[in-house]
């Protein structure tokens, strides 16, 4: 019932003037994308919005891990996901070898059950989590993130998991907790690569506490609607979409909250090449190659040019404030 | 080894040298080069350049060690195929990585010195390839031709450095070590022979 009309000084829209909710939301999504600094990327995604509306098809290779599409801003890119076959055969997981095909070839020996994750250090409630308890800790969400590797390639991956913050909050960090350290499994019997001296084992990665608490930091248990394949870091891994891929530790067995910046695997191995932060940044080159562009795996044909890389991998609107005032060249 | 002198021997080696390229073209056409076909192409062409370089440099030591002097017939062929694969490697990089944009290639070379080193190795192969026919040998004179073709040792060093540098971030130099060992052995053989052939002369003096 409309009691107010134009005669009383109110401009009231007629029903046909009101933007349908769906269109309005699409527009918001678009604006969000443009705000994220990836206008060109967003427009490409916009053109594919029909495909985006489709549910991600399950490859039906592993156990299903159902999830609801995340509503977190920035958590669902409209870009076309990289084919499952590429996501699961082109991997850096040095515990299984240094060639991209090694992990998919050799990770079958990894036993992901039983599995526990120890949360310890500067926390009020240290605990050894059984995988089943972790799986039930929070509702599973599907998030479609861009992944940018420091080597200059990228993918779009539909992950399944929930914000790492859910787990950290339950552990009740003390005032001393400034950083979070992640330890991957390093078992020579299951992981042939651990016999090599390519890196110091176990693989350790780390985040500042506020980075770890950012809702986009994902504790992932699956991809493409199924549990994680071993080569992708089963049974539980981290995904930090605005950082280079190696920051996202795989097959995690321990999470420590600590006061000092952790010594991380790649930073120890080659500090001049891999900094602690390793935020995706087209303006900060790797000492031996430019980071200005990237090759999208699986989507571009052989003759397609590399695409420009965006600051924080396009997640600047969501995470930019974490680094306000920081010199990203110094803290690379 | 009379089969080395068989009229079909050279064509057979020629076809063998083309097989890796055929396999790569087939792989690209059927999309079986893995998730990153551009990278696979560029790297494989680089690998084959190094392998053929090792093959070329192996001819002389093998000939001397076995006494199969007919092996020398294949050296030029192998050398030219090394150059051919090197050029394809560069073209694949310029095309698939850089879209043939010259300014970006120049910028990339400035940022990635390992590419400059590889480029230098290929440039040094150019005069060798250009003087690989018989009339060039005659025109230059055998001694000068041979001196010029010692550039191949610089090519080997730069090629190896290019590969080492490319892999430097990965802490995984196992493959580089294999090539270094092979090239080292082939060059070492030459050095040893040199020293040995000098020794009797000194005695005579």
**What pLDDT digit, counting tens, does each position of B143-166 carry?**
999 999 999 999 999 999 999 998
Both structure tokens of A154: 């990228």
From residue A222, alpha-carbon distances to A50, A141, A218, B28 in Å are 24, 10, 11, 31
Helices (H) and strands (E) in chain A, counts: 10, 13
By Cβ distance, the residue of B36, B165, B172 closest to A90 is: B36
Give the model's pLDDT for residue A51.
Answer: 46
Q: Do A199 and B171 touch (CB under 8 A)?
A: yes
- Sites in chain A below the pLDDT cut of 70: 1-54, 300
Q: Is A243 left (phi over 0), alpha (psi -120 to 50) or beta?
A: beta
What are residue A178's DSSP bridge partners? none
Q: What is the ipTM of this complex?
A: 0.77
Tracing tokens 């995470």 back to the chain, one arrives at A319
Pairing of strands A153-163, A116-121: unpaired
Q: Do A288 and B28 touch (CB under 8 A)?
A: no
Give the model's pLDDT for residue B203.
Answer: 55
This prediction has a pTM of: 0.81
Sign of the torsion formed by the C-alpha atoms of B40, B42, B46 and B48: positive
B interface mutation test: which of A152, A157, A305 has the most B CBs within 10 A?
A305
Give the model's pLDDT for residue A306.
Answer: 87
By Cβ distance, the residue of A98, A285, A298 closest to B170 is: A98
The alpha-carbon gap from B174 to the nearest alpha carbon of chain A, in Å, equals 10
**What pLDDT digit, counting tens, does each position of B51-69 carry?**
999 999 999 999 999 999 9
Helix (H/G/I), strand (E/B), else coil: A147: strand
Give the model's pLDDT for residue A26.
Answer: 53
Q: Sort B118 into a burial class: Cβ within 10 Å, 0-12 / 13-18 / 19+.
A: buried
Q: Sort B137 into a burial class: Cβ within 10 Å, 0-12 / 13-18 / 19+.
A: middle
**What pLDDT digit, counting tens, does each position of B169-188 carry?**
676 788 999 999 999 999 99
Report chain A residues whose CB lies below 8 A from the CB of B168: 288
Q: Do A288 and B39 touch (CB under 8 A)?
A: no
Count of beta carbons in the 10 Å neighbourhood of residue B135: 8
Give the model's pLDDT for residue A22.
Answer: 54
Q: Rounded to whole angstroms, how far apart are CA atoms A220 and A57?
A: 18
Domains, chain A, ordered by start: 15-323 (3.90.420.10)
Q: Nearest CA to A306 among B163, B96, B4?
A: B96
> Average pLDDT for residues B127-142, to the nearest whole number?
94
Give the model's pLDDT for residue B201.
Answer: 57
By Cβ distance, the residue of B99, B111, B114 closest to A305 is: B99
Give the model's pLDDT for residue A10.
Answer: 42
In chain B, the percentage of residues whose pLDDT exceeds 70 is 95
């Amino acid at each position: 019932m409309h009691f107010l009309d134009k005669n009383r000084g109110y401009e009231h829209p007629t029903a046909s003037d009101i933007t349908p909710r769906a269109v309005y939301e699409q527009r918001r999504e678009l604006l969000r994308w443009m705000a994220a600094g990836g206008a060109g990327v967003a427009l490409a995604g916009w053109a594919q919005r029909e495909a985006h509306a489709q549910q991600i098809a399950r490859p039906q290779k592993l156990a299903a891990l159902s999830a609801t599409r995340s509503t977190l801003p920035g958590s669902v890119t409209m870009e076309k996901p990289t084919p499952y076959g590429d996501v699961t055969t082109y991997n850096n997981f040095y515990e299984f070898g240094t060639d991209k095909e090694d992990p998919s070839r050799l990770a079958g020996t990894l036993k992901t059950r039983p599995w526990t994750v120890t949360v310890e250090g500067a926390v009020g409630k240290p605990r050894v989590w059984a995988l089943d308890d972790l799986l039930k800790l929070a509702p599973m969400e599907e998030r479609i993130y861009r992944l940018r590797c420091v080597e200059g390639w990228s993918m779009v991956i539909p992950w399944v998991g929930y914000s790492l913050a859910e787990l950290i909050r339950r552990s009740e960090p003390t005032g001393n907790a400034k950083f979070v350290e992640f330890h991957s499994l390093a078992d020579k019997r299951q992981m042939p690569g651990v016999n090599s001296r390519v890196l110091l084992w176990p693989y350790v990665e780390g985040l500042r506490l506020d980075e770890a608490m950012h809702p986009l930091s994902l504790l992932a248990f699956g991809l493409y609607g199924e549990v994680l394949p071993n080569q992708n870091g089963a049974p539980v891994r981290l995904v930090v979409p605005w950082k280079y891929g190696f920051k996202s530790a795989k097959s995690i067995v321990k999470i420590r909250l600590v006061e000092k910046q952790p010594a991380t695997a790649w930073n120890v191995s080659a500090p001049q090449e891999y900094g602690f932060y390793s935020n995706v940044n087209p303006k900060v080159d790797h000492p031996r190659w430019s980071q200005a562009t990237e090759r999208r795996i699986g989507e571009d044909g052989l003759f397609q040019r590399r695409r420009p890389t965006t600051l924080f991998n396009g997640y600047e609107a969501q995470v930019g404030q974490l680094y306000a005032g920081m010199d990203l060249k110094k803290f690379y | 080894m009379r089969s080395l002198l068989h009229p079909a021997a050279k064509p057979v080696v020629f076809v063998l040298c083309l097989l890796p390229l055929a396999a790569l073209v087939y792989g690209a056409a059927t999309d079986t080069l893995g998730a990153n076909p551009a990278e696979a192409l560029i790297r494989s062409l680089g690998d084959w350049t190094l392998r053929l370089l090792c093959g070329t440099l192996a001819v002389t030591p093998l000939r001397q060690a076995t006494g199969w002097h007919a092996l020398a017939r294949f050296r030029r062929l192998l050398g030219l195929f090394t150059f051919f694969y090197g050029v394809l490697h560069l073209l694949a990089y310029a095309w698939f990585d850089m879209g043939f944009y010259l300014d970006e290639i120049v910028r990339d070379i400035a940022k990635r010195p390992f590419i400059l080193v590889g480029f230098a190795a290929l440039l040094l192969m150019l005069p060798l390839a250009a003087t690989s026919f018989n009339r060039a040998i005659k025109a230059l004179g055998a001694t000068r031709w041979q001196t010029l073709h010692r550039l191949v040792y610089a090519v080997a060093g730069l090629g190896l450095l290019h590969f080492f540098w490319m892999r430097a971030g990965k802490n995984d130099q196992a493959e580089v070590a294999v090539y270094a060992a092979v090239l080292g052995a082939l060059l070492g053989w030459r050095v040893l022979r040199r020293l040995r052939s000098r020794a009797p002369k000194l005695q005579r003096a």
